[in-house]
């Protein structure tokens, strides 16, 4: 499961933790349960991209005419998958060392981990992927307020997070060094945070029920299960005020 960039503390300065582990990041993510579920390749990143694309197409939005921001982009894996479908993509992250592993992408360092370093109304779509569980609960609303600021009126924000109701997720998070500071939040909490930041919540979906081989054979089954709050992760889609 893709994790966000550096942790955020209450002083708004990015933690050095992710800088120190950037070179061994993949090794630290390895877990027998996680690896068996996903198999080789970029399954977790791909599932997020497919889900976001479904959200957009269902609303009649052609991503080829839109600009995408991934806030807390880490090494840019998600952006590499999405780049060919958007007019432009950009990312930001508080970890300088993580960004060094993202050559060829338009990425910007966040000097302040709660401040997104782009102008107001610069993007049409913004993703916040497995970042909030690394952010102190008291600071989450501020970060989502920044996401709203850089979105154009009517722009879409999509929050992806680990689902604390899934036993496998809790096992993996509990023994993954990268997640030792994680404070998981429910989909209901994510919806409340987005609403509190001024967004209109549109829909939410649970996913990662099926391991990679089964998902490839029966994607419709996983879509049908999206209402059930037991998937490994969830996504919440919200709209910025017009």
pLDDT in tens, the chain (242 residues): 344 444 444 343 444 566 445 444 455 556 788 888 988 878 999 999 999 999 999 999 999 999 999 999 988 999 999 999 999 999 999 988 878 877 779 999 999 989 999 999 999 999 999 999 999 999 999 999 999 999 999 999 999 999 999 999 999 898 877 788 899 999 999 999 999 999 999 999 999 999 999 999 999 999 999 999 999 999 999 999 98
Token pair of 144 as six digits: 């989502």
d(CA 230, CA 167) in angstroms, rounded, equals 8
Which residues pair with residue 207 across a beta bridge? 233
Length of the chain: 242
CATH architecture of the domain 17-239 equals: 3-Layer(aba) Sandwich (3.40)
Burial of 202 (C-beta count, 10 Å sphere; 0-12/13-18/19+): middle
For the chain, the 3-state helix, strand and coil shares in percent, each to the nearest 5, are 45, 20, 35
For the chain, the domains span: 17-239
Q: Which of 156, 150, 122 is nearest to 239 (CA)?
A: 156
| Full-model pTM | 0.90
Contacts of 121 (CB under 8 A, 6+ apart): 149, 150, 151, 152, 153, 155
d(CA 59, CA 178) in angstroms, rounded, equals 35
Return the pLDDT at 4: 44
Report how far apart, in Å, the C-alpha atoms of 52 and of each of 21, 139, 141, 212, 235 are. 29, 25, 22, 18, 9
For 201, the enclosing helix (H) or strand (E) is strand 200-207
With tokens 């910007």, the residue in question is 108
């Amino acid at each position: 499961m893709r994790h966000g960039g550096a942790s955020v503390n209450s002083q708004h300065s990015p933690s050095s933790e992710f800088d120190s582990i950037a070179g061994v990041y993949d090794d630290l993510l390895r877990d027998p349960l996680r690896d068996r579920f996903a198999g080789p390749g970029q399954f977790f990143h791909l599932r997020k991209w497919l889900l976001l694309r479904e959200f957009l197409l269902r609303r009649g939005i052609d991503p080829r005419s839109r600009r995408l921001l991934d806030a807390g982009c880490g090494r840019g894996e998600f952006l590499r998958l999405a780049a060919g479908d958007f007019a432009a993509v950009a990312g930001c992250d508080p970890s300088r060392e993580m960004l060094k592993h993202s050559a060829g992408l338009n990425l910007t360092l966040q000097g302040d981990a709660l401040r997104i370093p782009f102008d107001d109304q610069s993007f049409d779509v913004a993703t916040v992927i497995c970042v909030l569980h690394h952010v102190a609960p008291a600071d989450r609303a501020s970060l989502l307020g920044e996401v709203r600021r850089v979105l154009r009126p009517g722009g879409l924000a999509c929050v992806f997070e680990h689902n604390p109701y899934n036993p496998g997720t809790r096992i993996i998070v509990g023994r993954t060094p990268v997640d030792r500071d994680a404070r998981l939040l429910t989909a209901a909490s994510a919806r409340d945070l987005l609403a509190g930041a001024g967004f209109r919540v549109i829909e939410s979906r649970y996913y990662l029920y099926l391991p990679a081989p089964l998902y490839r054979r029966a994607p419709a089954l996983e879509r049908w299960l999206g209402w059930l709050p037991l998937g490994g992760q969830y996504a919440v889609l919200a709209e910025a005020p017009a």
